[in-house]
Amino acid sequence: MKTIKVLGTGCASCKTTLKLIQEAAQAKGIEVTLEKVEELSEIMQYGVMSTPGVVLDGQVVHAGGIPSKEKIDGWLSGSSNSSGCCGGSTATSKCCS
């Protein structure tokens, strides 16, 4: 089971990202633990400066903007880049653009 956290303080993009991940997991029949993280101090611990951020099994895989359905499907199928969205770098405002 994958653990996914959506990081964001409650903006529409963060809510949309959460919904898209839920829908994709249901459509694929994949069980996920999905958590919405809204506490700014916790978001900052991941180094995410642009939300929504997505953390998959403890690793930042996305920051800033709503991820595409293809990207979400990749995370769920396990084909996402294991080094994160930035090739292993901390997700910053320049990440994932």
Note if 11 is an active site residue: yes
Note if 14 is an active site residue: yes
What phi, psi does 70 have (nearest 5°)?
A: -65, -40
**Which of these is catalytic: 14, 85, 86, 95?**
14
- pLDDT, one tens digit for every residue, the chain (97 residues): 899 999 999 899 999 999 999 999 999 999 999 999 999 999 999 999 999 999 999 999 999 999 999 999 999 988 654 444 443 333 433 344 3
> For the chain, what is the radius of gyration of the CA atoms?
12
What phi, psi does 4 have (nearest 5°)?
A: -125, 130
Cis preceding-peptide flag for 67 (omega within 30 of 0): no
Domains of the chain: residue spans and CATH: 2-77 (3.40.30.10)
